[in-house]
Amino acid sequence: MLSRDTAGIYAGWFRALADPTRVQIVTLLAEAGGPMTVGEVVERVSVGQSTVSAHLKVLAGVGFVLVEPRGTARLYRINQECVSCFPSAADVVMGRGVRPFAEAGEAAG
């Protein structure tokens, strides 16, 4: 049985990916190989800047995206740690016996 805290983390991850535009943004940033500005993301996902900014805020809130201030701009990049843990989260939720993210982090630390 998952702990309530771990279940909450996973629920936040799944909620963040419940929007097609956010899935596109995660895919774009994962494939980019480096940080991108909001403007660069807007050009690729074909939605407005305020919408992209709101989606990036949600993704950063759950840790999928990391934000790096650079002068007056903010650069966004994928959080590789979350990307590598997300498939395990899906396996754990479906009862496939993989260790929960929180437990894996404790074992590594």
Give tens-digit pLDDT for 23-75.
Answer: 999 999 999 989 999 999 999 998 999 999 999 999 999 999 999 999 999 99
Q: Are 60 and 67 in contact (CB under 8 A)?
A: yes
Q: How far apart are CA 47 and CA 56, in angstroms?
A: 12
Selected residue with higher pLDDT from 98 and 19: 19
pLDDT at 89: 64
> What are the angstrom distances between the C-alpha of 71 and each of 12, 32, 35, 59, 65?
30, 21, 14, 22, 19
- The model carries a pTM of 0.78
Q: Give the list of residues 6+ apart from residue 37 with CB closer than 8 angstroms, or none.
A: 73, 74, 75, 76
Q: Residue 13, Cα to own-chain centre: how many angstroms?
A: 7
Burial class (CB in 10 A: 0-12, 13-18, 19+), 42: middle
pLDDT confidence bin for 14, thresholds 50/70/90: confident
Q: Are 19 and 55 in contact (CB under 8 A)?
A: yes
Q: How far apart are CA 55 and CA 80, in angstroms?
A: 18
